[in-house]
Structure 1
Amino acid sequence: MDAFEPQIRALLREYPTMPATVIAQRIGWSRSLTVLKDRVRVIRPEFRGVDPADRVIYQPGGCSQWDLWFPDYRIPVGHNQLSMLPVLVMTLAFSRYRSAVMIPSRQGGDILAGMWLLLSQLGAVTRKLVWDRESAIGGKGKPTALAAGFVGSLGTRLELAPPCDPEYKGMVERNNRFFETSFLPGRHFASPADFTAQFDRWLADYANTRVVRSIGDRRPCDVLTEDLAQMATLPPSAPQVGLSTRVRLGRDYYVRVAGNDYSVHPSVIGRFVDITADLHRVRIACGE
């Protein structure tokens, strides 16, 4: 049998679902078909991949799943304006610990700023960050330059889910539905900061303190220590996150950032100004 195994593997590599009876014909097998079937049964999972119904065993510090949740609620953003803003959600796969923050937009700079904030609160990073094909992260099937630079500075790696496969990161997807039904109803929010503050309290007091059967009838907050112990430490300096651009200041001395207009001193009309924005502040400077 060992002499035939390379041929079996070559066939399964190209045709993972090929029946054992067909394999027997292709390799010229003339002995007991039961023996061949037993060997194929052992080898086939290496090439067929994981069944979507299978349960994945996660190791401490190994993986975190990320997603954007869009609550069906218009948040006051000042000056009588309302906006539906995304919430960046992180779920640690081993401990099932969740954290989240409302961000200004789904642009890459804002997403990475939110990721850095959540990771900074943990004080560590998992060995793998799992995302779907969010356009600012990996919409074309490979990490964007911005996302690749971010994960490179953290010393971790980014894994993109296959297209149209929400179950690949089903843990965080199910959490989003859980938030819709268990956190959002009956609440009112005065601002994005108020939303994040209420969400943080609810996660700490309820979501992360519930007993979860899949982690041995334990609570995420109790398993978090074991998860953190196997994570990588964060770099000593923060990576480049947020939005940044350079524009020439027009005669009306206003610049637009995330749909809002900000005035600049008229003395720099006609000169280039550098605009940077994080989750809390917009800075405009003229370096000339």
Structure 2
Amino acid sequence: MGRCLLIKRETRVLLVHYLEQGLSKSAIAERLGIDRRTIHRWIAAGQLAPDVETGLLPEPARRQSRPAKLAPFEAILRTRLDAYPELSSVRLFEEIRAAGYAGGYTQVKEFVRGIRPQPAPDPVVRFETEPGVQGQVDFAEVRLPWGKRYALLVVLGYSRLLWLRFFPRQDMRTLFSGLEEAFAFFGGVPKELLFDQMASVITADLRDQGERLVANAEFLRFAAHWGFRVRACRPYRARTKGKVERPIRYLRENFLYGRDFLGDADLDAQAKAWLDSVANVRVHRTTGEQPWARFQAQEQHHLLPLAERPYRSLILLPSEPAAPVVQRTGRVEVEKRPLQTYARLAGGAA
């Protein structure tokens, strides 16, 4: 209440200042975000004249509270909400009206809002992993002037070192290619990769039903080739990925927003420069260290070694080359003549 009074007093001080400057009451009301009738009421009540001794504006008069019709029924409402915290205001209104309440619904709704027990929010648990244990993978859809692109991001959980690249498609071939580039960038492979229910990785998640996570068989072969385990966030529980600064939001706000790109080549060049000069050398607010320095000093030597060769899929077909552009030629008109003409020409030539 004290803070509200302070705000109102400051508003009235500004109001007096604007009145002395000659501003209209409508203009003042718009500037201060108050109703014009409030200004008239304060002037009529003498609340804009400072106290002679203190020099302060008087506090606004408080409304006299009238005995509410709800008072005899408040104990019933409290008892019901203690037993059933999720009872709606409409249901409670009906119950006390049956018990003799003659007031309106608004009083009940405001009273219930003030006393309803609020469940304690689930604690946000930050899951930290040891060096080299976990990487996290996400796709982000990006709309650019020349078309839609998909940013693949891979973040190492311990150092927060980030790798990213933009692709024209979001499919398994893209995922394989991107992850292999990320492993080469890191110089090794984390022991596990965490995905956010990515369709090309997870085919079914039945863990909430007491069963198991079902991963795509082809992706499991890819994981076995590189030596990492596949993990996935539970559906609608992205909080399990919350230990790493939201990489997609960071990409959108710190890299994409406010930049112009000339095309895919320029997009890739700017992204690489941003990783090298901003994303991986800033002081991370959670670790208090630069991701690149933390990676080199504490994580790089914990990664699994790279495979001897890229993964060769027996299912995915090789990428098709771009179709050649066929240049259309104009139609050649052939003059048609009777056969006798050709016979005479042949006879003459003989």
- Tell me if TM exceeds 0.5: yes
**Which residue of 1 is the match for residue 168 of structure 2?**
104
Between the aligned residues of both structures, percent identity stands at 24
Alpha-carbon separation, structure 2, partners of 1:139 and 1:125: 23
**Which residue of 2 is the match for residue 37 of structure 1?**
none
1:159 correspondence with 2:220:
no
Alpha-carbon separation, structure 1, partners of 2:151 and 2:314: 15
Q: Which runs of 5+ in 1 are unaligned?
A: 1-50, 75-81, 247-255, 266-288
1:176 correspondence with 2:248:
yes
**Which residue of 2 is the match for residue 120 of structure 1?**
184
User: Does structure 1 conserve the Cα–Cα contact (< 8 Å) formed by 2:160 and 2:244?
Assistant: no
**Which secondary structure does the structure 1 equivalent of 2:246 belong to?**
helix
1:68-83 to 2 correspondences below 5 Å? 68-74=139-145, 82-83=146-147
Residue 203 to residue 155, structure 1, CA distance change in 2 (3 Å): same
1:224 is matched with which residue: 291, 295, 302? 295
User: Does structure 2 conserve the Cα–Cα contact (< 8 Å) formed by 1:63 and 1:126?
Assistant: yes
| CA offset digits 1:219-271 (Å, max 9, x no partner) | 1010011211111001111112699438xxxxxxxxx95xx961499xxxxxx
RMSD in angstroms over aligned alpha carbons? 2.6
1:57 correspondence with 2:118:
no
User: Does structure 1 conserve the Cα–Cα contact (< 8 Å) formed by 2:126 and 2:243?
Assistant: no
Alpha-carbon separation, structure 2, partners of 1:228 and 1:243: 33
Alpha-carbon separation, structure 2, partners of 1:113 and 1:189: 23
2:124 alignment partner AA:
A
Alpha-carbon separation, structure 1, partners of 2:249 and 2:203: 23
**Which secondary structure does the structure 1 equivalent of 2:125 belong to?**
coil
**Which residue of 2 is the match for residue 149 of structure 1?**
221
Give the number of the structure with larger relative contact order, counting CA–CA contacts within 8 Å between residues 6 or more apart. Answer: 1
Residue 241 to residue 220, structure 1, CA distance change in 2 (3 Å): farther
User: Does structure 1 conserve the Cα–Cα contact (< 8 Å) formed by 2:188 and 2:305?
Assistant: yes
Q: Which runs of 5+ in 2 are unaligned?
A: 1-121, 206-213, 327-350
**Which secondary structure does the structure 2 equivalent of 1:140 belong to?**
strand
Residue 206 to residue 173, structure 1, CA distance change in 2 (3 Å): closer
Residue 120 to residue 52, structure 1, CA distance change in 2 (3 Å): farther
Alpha-carbon separation, structure 2, partners of 1:172 and 1:239: 28
Alpha-carbon separation, structure 2, partners of 1:205 and 1:243: 39
Residue 191 to residue 201, structure 1, CA distance change in 2 (3 Å): same
1:218 alignment partner AA:
E
2:185 alignment partner AA:
Q
Aligned length: 196
User: Does structure 2 conserve the Cα–Cα contact (< 8 Å) formed by 1:91 and 1:171?
Assistant: no
Alpha-carbon separation, structure 1, partners of 2:169 and 2:224: 23
1:262 correspondence with 2:334:
no
**Which residue of 2 is the match for residue 31 of structure 1?**
none
**Which secondary structure does the structure 1 equivalent of 2:275 belong to?**
helix
User: Does structure 2 conserve the Cα–Cα contact (< 8 Å) formed by 1:209 and 1:219?
Assistant: yes
Residue 186 to residue 123, structure 1, CA distance change in 2 (3 Å): same
User: Does structure 2 conserve the Cα–Cα contact (< 8 Å) formed by 1:89 and 1:100?
Assistant: yes
**Which residue of 2 is the match for residue 200 of structure 1?**
272
Alpha-carbon separation, structure 2, partners of 1:236 and 1:87: 27
**Which residue of 2 is the match for residue 66 of structure 1?**
137
1:89 correspondence with 2:89:
no
Deviation at 1:57, TM superposition (A): 2.3
**Which residue of 2 is the match for residue 130 of structure 1?**
194
1:148 alignment partner AA:
L
The alignment's TM-score, normalised by the length of structure 2, stands at 0.52
Alpha-carbon separation, structure 2, partners of 1:237 and 1:166: 33
Residue 262 to residue 120, structure 1, CA distance change in 2 (3 Å): same
**Which residue of 2 is the match for residue 17 of structure 1?**
none
2:135 alignment partner AA:
S
Alpha-carbon separation, structure 1, partners of 2:244 and 2:251: 10
Deviation at 1:55, TM superposition (A): 2.0
Alpha-carbon separation, structure 1, partners of 2:267 and 2:243: 22
- Of the two, which has the highest radius of gyration? 2
